[in-house]
Amino acid sequence: MTAETLTALFLMLALGVRHGLDPEHIAIVNSVTLRAVESERRWPTASGLWFALGHGFIITLVAIAFVGLLDIVRLPGWAMVLATWLPTLILLAVAVANLRELMRGSNDYRPASIKRRLLPRALGDSSSPLAILLIGVVFAPFVDPASQAAVWGYVAGTSASPGWVALLGVVLTLAMAVTCTLEAHAVVRLTRASATAAAARRRAVGWLIVGFSFLLVGYMCAESLLPAHGGWSLRLLLGAVVGLVLGGISVGVVALLQSTSTVRSAVAERGADPVDDAQSHGSPGVRAESCPSRRNEEAGTQRQPGR
């Protein structure tokens, strides 16, 4: 097995896990699993598996069709370069966006599924395996387009046959199925946990999403920078270093932006009420001007002994 084959399999495995950890994805899996628990299904943790199978089937089907289209239409060189780097940039933006949400300090980190409201009521209220499978099929084009763009962009950047793309799709689907099944298992456990423990676990999942995204971005950068040098282990090591550096820089930038926003808000609040601000800091000029009656009373008290 060549280094290119191992790289492709590793990327699909990582993208499958990353796709399963998307906040919108987690929200839908949480919803269908809770419905299965309420309906007293025998295996509620299998809800994540059914959703991932339907989801991965559509992604694989679209990727195979995409490869067939590339056999007919040849993309120019700049489009191939764009297809190689655009997924990396999209994943980096997703990682920074999730990092920003987590660094706000709120304990209520709860992904909300807005797209689930688009489902027909008969399908959305059902907890059967077939209904959950169809939900995965329906939401395949809309949930986590960043990971899907990474899959299709990688396919566009390689001369892959439809059979090879199908194998990559199977690896992606299996990785996503394992991730979603673990998510469903966590949801079942959360139904028996306290609110504090549930919030802590949601934030832990959020940090896992951020860390995994940065490491995946670093590996994709290493693969693009070292296409013909070194082996799989060297790319993995370089990718980890690049991911950690990008993550550290992003944490610093987000912290700086948030502190700047906090300072600006504090300055704006002080500027809105300068009299109260001066009184709170003990400014004698403002107290004397704003309290003339008190000054007159003090002057009268000082003249009383002379009488």
What is the spatial distance between Cα 109 and Cα 115, in angstroms, rounded to a whole number? 18
Three-state DSSP at 142 gives coil
Enter the DSSP assignment of 45. T
43 to each of 34, 35, 40, 134, 206, how far by Cα in Å?
A: 12, 12, 9, 18, 26
116 to each of 10, 104, 158, how far by Cα in Å?
A: 31, 26, 34
What is the spatial distance between Cα 186 and Cα 29, in angstroms, rounded to a whole number? 11
What is the spatial distance between Cα 24 and Cα 111, in angstroms, rounded to a whole number? 6
What is the spatial distance between Cα 219 and Cα 211, in angstroms, rounded to a whole number? 13
The pTM for the full model equals 0.54
**What does the pLDDT profile of the chain (307 residues) look like in tens digits?**
666 677 778 878 887 887 777 766 776 787 777 777 777 777 788 888 888 898 888 888 877 777 777 666 666 667 666 666 766 776 787 778 778 777 776 665 554 444 455 555 555 556 677 878 887 887 766 555 555 555 666 665 555 677 777 888 888 889 989 988 888 887 777 766 666 666 676 677 677 777 877 887 887 777 777 765 556 677 778 878 888 888 888 888 888 888 888 888 888 877 755 545 445 455 454 444 445 555 555 555 555 554 4
What is the spatial distance between Cα 188 and Cα 202, in angstroms, rounded to a whole number? 13
Three-state DSSP at 21 gives coil
Burial of 212: CB neighbours in 10 Å, binned 0-12, 13-18, 19+:
middle
What is the spatial distance between Cα 290 and Cα 229, in angstroms, rounded to a whole number? 76
Query: Tokens 């907890």, residue?
Result: 127
Query: Tokens 């919803």, residue?
Result: 31
